[in-house]
Amino acid sequence: MTENIRINNPNVKYTDTHIEAQYCYHTTAVRRDGDTLTVTPSVSELEFRTERHVPRLGVMLVGWGGNNGTTVTAAVLANRLGLTWRTKTGEQKANYYGSLFQSSTVCLGEGPDGKEVNIPFRDLLPMMHPNDIVFDGWDISSMDLGSAMERAEVLDWSLQEKLRPHMSHLRPRASIYIPEFIAANQAGRADNVLKGTMAEQVEQIRADIQDFRHSSGVDKVIVLWTANTERFCDLTAGVNDTAKNLLAAIQSGGEVSPSTLFAVASILEGCAYINGSPQNTFVPGAIELAVERNVFIAGDDFKSGQTKIKSVLVDFLISAGIKPTSIVSYNHLGNNDGMNLSAPQQFRSKEISKSNVVDDMVNSNPILYHNGEKPDHCVVIKYVPYVGDSKRAMDEYTSEIMMGGTNTIAMHNTCEDSLLASPIILDLVLLTELCQRVCVRPQGSETFQSFHSVLAILSFMCKAPLVPPGAPLVNAYFRQRACIENIMRACLGLPPQNHMHLEHKLQRGFLPRHDNRIYDNVTLIADIHTNLTNICSNDTVGRTSI
């Protein structure tokens, strides 16, 4: 990746290997005394260091032969090959629409003409291009990816014809199949399953990861679960409560779900593991293992369709002072995900994942909701084979407006489930890979530290975000997006987006003329070092004067 953004500021240093940025991180602490809230702002000086070299990335998908697995693989191939194909309305080009990094933009500032300069999100920092990802994976169905793409009924036929030669020789590795965790109706697909004890199966998965790494020549592997939704796993002391007990349970053959087995194998191989389904893969023992081994884990459940819009609309309503009182969501779909979810235990996992998405927004507004009050919230999912991958989501939002008035929004949303999920899979692995190259050193600390093993910055792409203990859970779409943008800006020493446009709001302008003097690396090195301690002196001033 070539970097095409250059920050012209002595607080940002480009070495051969890293971008090093001095950053002032602002927080506030609030204390309540009776009716008065005392707000104490403070500033932490942080140094962000981002590795510039982008590695060759391999991604291993669990459920590679499913609709998401085949679609994301096909999309990357089609983009890499620059394919075009005829549809009845004209020629279609391969693209990555729906990907935060590939197809959305961020504003960098104003150009000399006073207009905002917007760049692709992916250009903010050196990131993998999805075209360069090497895919591999496992599936309980042995079907090759060409045939599996046909079975998925997602991509245009004329595109499938062009892709088949590239897809047919891709065959999923044998996967772990424990029938009790997924719906009984999946038995017919399970012709490609590992044998042996649980421990032996985990060893095989580890061997697969090693084999892929060596045979493909990738520098780094990330493993992502896009297979069937499993039922929830019982949390049992002595079985999955600690890393040690979990590893012991695998040896003795206790209750451990396939997704947790994959997570454990990945973590032991030092590979980040992302859970794209709703089940509780990350039992406490799995989280502890990831923390111990300094490996990233993230999840749960791709936020692609109905829940994504819900995390926009409910945030909008509550942030406008309108009170949602009832949210009813009906879904029907006819792909294999729908078939699996038609079993009660698997549906239950999905229901839990979808149910908490409005909690953070509701809790943020004590004017509209008294303590403990929540809107009614109901989720129904039905399996309707005919609609295939073209999922329907029908939502009704009823809200209370001023003086007892009612606002009713009914919404009908149709789209190819896998075409929305695939770009999110790409965003998840690309952001994870980037986070592996970022570290932070707080002032006064000797050493750099990495992000927490529970990679909460991926919340944006997840229906039920996993966050470190004590961390706030944010589901609100635009807050989640701002989080990613502002952390990536911090890696460049750029302050958070403020959206204020103050320079256009006062009677007279106050900015210097468009100023783009290039900061001269050589002459300023001395100044930087003398000034570093002053960067966040906002705070220093406050504290020393106390």
Catalytic center residues: 301, 350, 391, 463
Q: Residue 119, interface with a copy of itself (CB under 8 A)?
A: yes
Q: Is 221 helix (H, G, I), strand (E, B) or coil?
A: strand
Pick out residues in 2-41 that bind a copy of itself (CB under 8 A).
Answer: 2, 4-11, 24-32, 35-41
Residues 6 or more apart in contact with residue 24 via CB below 8 angstroms: 43, 44, 45, 46, 495, 535, 536, 538
Among 251, 471, 521, 525, binds a copy of itself (CB under 8 A): 471
Which is nearer to a copy of itself, 131 or 538 (by Cβ)?
Answer: 538
Among 53, 56, 111, 216, binds a copy of itself (CB under 8 A): 111
Q: Which amino acid is at 292?
A: E
Q: In a 10 Å sphere around its CB, with 0-12 CB exposed, 13-18 middle and 19+ buried, how is residue 523 labelled?
A: exposed
End-to-end CA distance of the chain: 48
Among 50, 73, 102, 340, binds a copy of itself (CB under 8 A): 102
What's the residue count for the chain?
A: 546
Q: Which residues pair with 331 in a beta bridge?
A: 381, 393
Residues 6 or more apart in contact with residue 505 via CB below 8 angstroms: none
CA distance 1 to 167: 26
Instruction: Find the part of the chain contacting a copy of itself (CB under 8 A) among 196-204, 218-226, 241-249, 532-540.
Output: 532-540
Locate tokens 């919340």: which residue? 459
Among 95, 215, 216, 521, binds a copy of itself (CB under 8 A): 95
Which is nearer to a copy of itself, 309 or 384 (by Cβ)?
Answer: 309
Among 308, 310, 377, 463, binds a copy of itself (CB under 8 A): 308
Among 252, 292, 520, 525, binds a copy of itself (CB under 8 A): 520
Q: With contacts defined by CB under 8 A, how many residues of the chain interact with a copy of itself?
A: 167
Residue 489: CB atoms within 10 Å: 21
- Tokens representing 49 are 């260091």
Q: Residue 372, interface with a copy of itself (CB under 8 A)?
A: no
Q: Which amino acid is at 75?
A: A
Residues 6 or more apart in contact with residue 13 via CB below 8 angstroms: 19, 20, 21, 528
| Residues 129-142: b if buried by 16+ CB within 10 A, e if exposed | bbeebebbbbbbbb
CB of residue 233 vs a copy of itself: minimum separation in angstroms?
A: 26
Pick out residues in 35-94 that bind a copy of itself (CB under 8 A).
Answer: 35-42, 44, 46, 71, 74-75, 78, 87, 92, 94
Q: Which of 353, 222, 230 is nearest to 300 (CA)?
A: 353
Residue 298 sits at the vertex; the CA angle it makes with 295 and 302, to the nearest 5 degrees, is 155
CA distance 169 to 174: 15
Which is nearer to a copy of itself, 82 or 405 (by Cβ)?
Answer: 405
Residue 66: CB atoms within 10 Å: 28
CB of residue 133 vs a copy of itself: minimum separation in angstroms?
A: 15
CB of residue 155 vs a copy of itself: minimum separation in angstroms?
A: 6
Show the binding pattern over residues 480-519: x = contacts a copy of itself (CB under 8 A), - = does not: xxxx--xx--x-xxxxxxxxxxxxxxxxx-xxx-xxxxxx
Which is nearer to a copy of itself, 218 or 419 (by Cβ)?
Answer: 419
Instruction: Find the part of the chain contacting a copy of itself (CB under 8 A) among 244-252, 279-287, 312-320, 341-349.
Output: 312-320
Instruction: Find the part of the chain contacting a copy of itself (CB under 8 A) among 60-68, 200-208, 370-378, 443-451.
Output: 443-451
Longest dimension (CA), the chain: 76
Q: Residue 522, interface with a copy of itself (CB under 8 A)?
A: no
Among 54, 57, 62, 100, binds a copy of itself (CB under 8 A): 100
Q: Residue 157, interface with a copy of itself (CB under 8 A)?
A: no
Q: Residue 312, interface with a copy of itself (CB under 8 A)?
A: yes
Which is nearer to a copy of itself, 231 or 489 (by Cβ)?
Answer: 489
Which is nearer to a copy of itself, 248 or 528 (by Cβ)?
Answer: 528
Q: Is 346 helix (H, G, I), strand (E, B) or coil?
A: helix
Among 17, 105, 210, 251, binds a copy of itself (CB under 8 A): 105
**What dihedral do alpha carbons 241, 246, 248, 254 form, nearest 10°?**
90
Q: Which amino acid is at 70?
A: T
CB of residue 261 vs a copy of itself: minimum separation in angstroms?
A: 26
Among 17, 56, 81, 156, binds a copy of itself (CB under 8 A): 156
CB of residue 271 vs a copy of itself: minimum separation in angstroms?
A: 18
CB of residue 138 vs a copy of itself: minimum separation in angstroms?
A: 24
Let me know: does 30 contact 38? Beta carbons within 8 Å: yes
